[in-house]
Amino acid sequence: MNIVILAAGQGKRMYSALPKVLHPIAGKAMLGHVLDTIQEIDSNTKPSVVLGHGQDFVRKFLDKYHPNVQIAIQSEQKGTGHAVQQALPFLGDEGSTLILYGDVPLIQSSTLKELLRLAEDGALAILTQEMSNPTGYGRIVRNLEGEVSGIIEEKDATPEIKKIKEINTGIMACPTKDLRRWLSVIQPNNAQGEYYLTDIVGLAAKESVPIRTMMPQFAFEVEGVNNRLQLATLERTWQSHLATQLLQNGLTLLDPQRIDIRGKLSVGKDISIDVGCVFEGNVEIADGVQIGPYCVIKDSKIGANTQIKAFSHIEGATINDEAVIGPYARVRPGTLIDSQAHIGNFVEVKNSYIGTNSKANHLSYIGDAKVGNRVNIGAGTITCNYDGVNKHLTTIEDDVFIGSDSQLVAPVTVGKGATLGAGTTLTKDAPADKLTISRAKQLSVEWKRPVKNK
């Protein structure tokens, strides 16, 4: 199987220096969606991507995220047929060639698999769609027997042809040997002076090559993007589709129109998600989790029956069962919050382990730390983990109580069962089961408070 993705267009109506195919849908470049879908069909395939405008930007994207592609260049944009011609040197003659578009991002792998099945015996398989308003699209023309005889583009169509509701989506699977031959004879004899890929359909019909059509399960699969309005509309359509799938699987969404999934969200049972939440990358949520409004969760695992309260941000972390996070908490990469631990409002945790039943409920920073079980960390406590060059570890053993406004200057260890008095600046290890206090002596002196000069 050969795959060609057309991604050479400039996208003038996007009014952007960024090539159109790199604009994101659900947190991923449109071209990235298409390439990921191809991987679902055949992870060993090496697609050919036709580039033109903004090719340097697109090359950088491909080098970083999809290096296993072949790049063809369309220096002049002379139509879709001309674009496919640029990829012909990369195509093997056997089997079919699947033609896709970098600005039609949401085509589903199940649809493409069925399209390829229709083309297995040397047929030309075309993905079509019925539209109530087909203006701007090429029309599928059929003979009296209902067989496809050609595709007429909007600018070349007669008023009678324009009444046809079945349109060409542009996505097709062609017998590769025939495709190579057909492309060699098409001519730019049309209103736009371009080499139309759709002209091969008429050639196939004249040669009695079987032409088969099918329609996608969802209309959004074949929607292309040419401007910012279409981009925003397709984004909301896709998010609504994802929300519907979650609801059908038993998840509670307080408002299905106010959720954004920018990656893969795996969920268990009896989960509730409030409004305005964003899920990025790969997120796994176990049974019974409750997520408050306006939380952002990225590349993280949330354990069963955990509560994520409003406005919390979690990234690259694992939260175990029955923990409580937030509101207004930030849990950063490399963090493991163990079962029944509490991370409260305006607490930031980075690259740390927080043990079972431990609590940091107010206004604290815990970075590069190992915190044991049943530890209480008072408000305003920070681990001073950075010396300006290197990061250092703070170790807090089980059953420690740390008073408010304490600073733990790493590397330092607080022994099991120790207590730190409020306001302590700890620069040496605190022994187990003892009270350690480090604060200036309290003084009261006579003085007069300054007043403003008149």
Q: Is 72 exposed, middle or buried (0-12, 13-18, 19+ CB in 10 A)?
A: buried
With beta carbons less than 8 A apart as the criterion, state whether 137 and 170 touch: no
Residue of 220, 204, 185 lying closest to 96 (CA atoms): 204
SS3 for 71-107 is: EEECCCCCCHHHHHHHHHHHCCCCCEEEEEECCCCCC
Residue of 287, 288, 337 lying closest to 312 (CA atoms): 337
Residue in the structure block whose two tokens are 């631990």? 341
Active centre residues (catalytic): 362
With beta carbons less than 8 A apart as the criterion, state whether 152 and 134 touch: no
The region that residue 416 occupies, defined by phi over 0 for left and psi between -120 and 50 for alpha, beta otherwise, is beta
Q: Collect all residues with Cβ–Cβ distance below 8 Å to 441 and sequence separation of at least 6.
A: none
The distance from CA 298 to its chain's CA centroid, rounded to whole angstroms, is 10
Per-residue exposure over 335-370, b if at least 16 CB sit within 10 Å of its own CB, e if not: bbbbbbbbbbbebbbbbbbbbbbbbbbebbbbbbbb
With beta carbons less than 8 A apart as the criterion, state whether 238 and 262 touch: no
The span from the CA of 32 to the CA of 105, in Å, is 8
The span from the CA of 10 to the CA of 54, in Å, is 7
- Helices then strands (H, E): number in the chain? 8, 39
DSSP string, 294-340: T-EEES-EE-TT-EE-TT-EEESEEE-TT-EE-SS-EE-TTEEE-TT
With beta carbons less than 8 A apart as the criterion, state whether 128 and 219 touch: no
Collapsing DSSP to helix, strand or coil, 43 comes out as coil
Q: Which stretch of DSSP H or E encloses residue 384?
A: strand 382-384
Residue of 33, 36, 181, 160 lying closest to 97 (CA atoms): 181
The span from the CA of 170 to the CA of 222, in Å, is 9
